[in-house]
């Protein structure tokens, strides 16, 4: 008796998917919204960032320090997203006077 595995057909493998939702309209300009770190959720987008070994080591040491002080597991991605939210909030509030803008201007 031959052993055959039932595989899905091409219709099941290459089914049509729903189109992506369009971007939401921009919020009213009355109150600037502070960017929030997304935390532990499923992320659909990806960005690759290259670091020097010293930068990666510093990031890992910061993560370990926060884990020890807060008593919670914090992964590197979550730490980077939180730092990015702080930087974006600072840019939104102070523009070219923000810490990150000055650091970028100096480099």
Most confident of 15-19, 37-41, 61-65: 61-65
For the stretch 90-93, contacts whose Cβ atoms lie closer than 8 Å and that sit 24 or more positions apart, written own/partner, are 92/32, 92/34, 92/35, 93/32
CA distance readout (Å), 15 to 5, 8, 57: 21, 11, 44
Average pLDDT for 29-38: 56
- pLDDT of residue 12 exceeding 80, the answer is no
For the segment 42-97, what is each residue's pLDDT rounded down to a tens digit? 778 888 999 999 999 999 999 999 999 999 888 999 899 999 999 999 999 999 99
CA 92 – CA 100 distance, rounded (Å): 11
Question: What's the predicted TM-score (pTM) here?
Answer: 0.58
């Amino acid at each position: 008796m031959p052993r055959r595995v039932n595989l899905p057909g091409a219709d099941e493998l290459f089914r049509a998917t729903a189109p992506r939702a369009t971007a939401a309209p921009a919020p009213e300009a009355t109150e600037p919204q502070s960017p929030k770190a997304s935390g532990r959720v499923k992320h659909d987008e990806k960005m690759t960032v290259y670091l020097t070994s010293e930068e990666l080591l510093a990031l890992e040491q910061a993560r370990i320090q926060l884990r020890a002080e807060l008593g919670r597991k914090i992964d590197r991605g979550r730490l980077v997203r939180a730092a990015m939210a702080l930087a974006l909030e600072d840019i939104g509030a102070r523009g070219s006077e923000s810490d990150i803008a000055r650091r970028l201007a100096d480099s």
